[in-house]
Amino acid sequence: MGSASLKAIDFFCSGGGMTYGMRLAGIEVIAGIDIDPEVKETYELNNPGTKFILKDICKLNEEDLLKELNIKCNDDRMIFIGCSPCQYWSIIRTNKEKSKKSKDLLKEFHRFIKFYRPGFVVVENVPGIERRSSESGLDEFIEDLKKRGYQIKFDIYNLNEYGVPQTRKRFSLIASRIVTEHIQPEKSNYRPVVKDFIGEHNGFPKVPAGYKDKTDFLHTVSSLSEDNLIAIKNALPGGRPAKKRERFRGGGFRDSYGRMEWDKPAPTITTKFYSLSNGRFGHPEEHRALSLREGATLQTFPKTYKFKAKSKASIARMIGNAVPPEFARRIGEAIIKAYNKLDLR
């Protein structure tokens, strides 16, 4: 028995944060499914042996996976993971019209749960999916899982308590029809902060705004206008610019042009973390925003994780949308621990 016999399919896998963390835990992720062709190379490079399926879940028939992956229904050792794009339910100010198409993806994922009835189900999303649980389909999803005999544990988790150096809060659900106990990830022994992950002492050399790193390390930094350079030079750690604050009022984020602090967790790493105008993404000391690699590292991706895409914005989107691998690893280990208590031989 043991973790080697557990396998998973990662729906909405993107660049592979959840897959990578599950694999670290010892779970065999047999496939990742995503609609975005630009995430394929990143996913496959970092998760060798896991099949990438480029498909729109809305157009994917339940039985298609039987042919594609040779899986079976009612598999006690199967985990279905659904971390659907969450911009529509996010409290961050985004264009909700653009993200409308993705708001019903939990309902699409639900089709596959009903058809295959896997041993375990994992859902990870923004807290807004619970706050608007009727509209998002979460109420119906949970009620149906209960009717099908699943034990369910869900909560809003502060990921800083689970080894992630951010103030990131996420909705996570773990359900099982073969385990009677509630399954949840184990907390870390300490709450990590920015200085635990980035800075010269962690292998990040000082670089100026606009620096382009042509290696796979991707310590690439956005350029700054003269005004923005003045803003970050005047910014105090954790705060907005000390001078000319009126210049930056308007439709921006409340913490725009602020710096992070070494001794505190970073703010939530979003898809725009490389831009000073989209949050408190200023380096604690250097006059610039976070580099691509710093954002990935604060998301707990290893420094060896290779990101491939056509643009800086595409790479940042993969990083910001990811489930932090460290949190995913803890979810995986919690499932393994619960599974190993069973006598299925």
| Catalytic machinery residues | 86
DSSP 29: E
The token pair at 310 is: 């056509």
End-to-end Cα distance, the chain: 7
- Please name every residue paired with 153 in a beta bridge, in sequence order, or none if there are none: 174
Tokens 């689970």 belong to which residue?
Answer: 162
Asked whether 127 and 86 are in contact (CB, 8 A), the reply is no
Per-position b or e across 49-69, b if 16+ CB within 10 A of its CB: ebebbebebeebeeeebeeee
8 A C-beta contact, residue 336 and residue 26: yes
Q: How far apart are CA 158 and CA 156, in angstroms?
A: 7
Residues in the chain: 345
Strand partners, 172: 124, 155
Give the DSSP H/E element, type plus range, for residue 51. strand 51-54
Longest dimension (CA), the chain: 69
The answer to whether residues 169 and 89 touch, using CB atoms and an 8 Å cutoff, is no
- Residue 304 near residue 141 (C-beta atoms within 8 A): no
Integer-rounded Cα Rg, in Å, for the chain is 20
Question: 123 forms bridges with which residues in the sheet?
Answer: 82, 173
What does the block give as tokens for 14? 């993107």
Which residue type occupies 229?
L
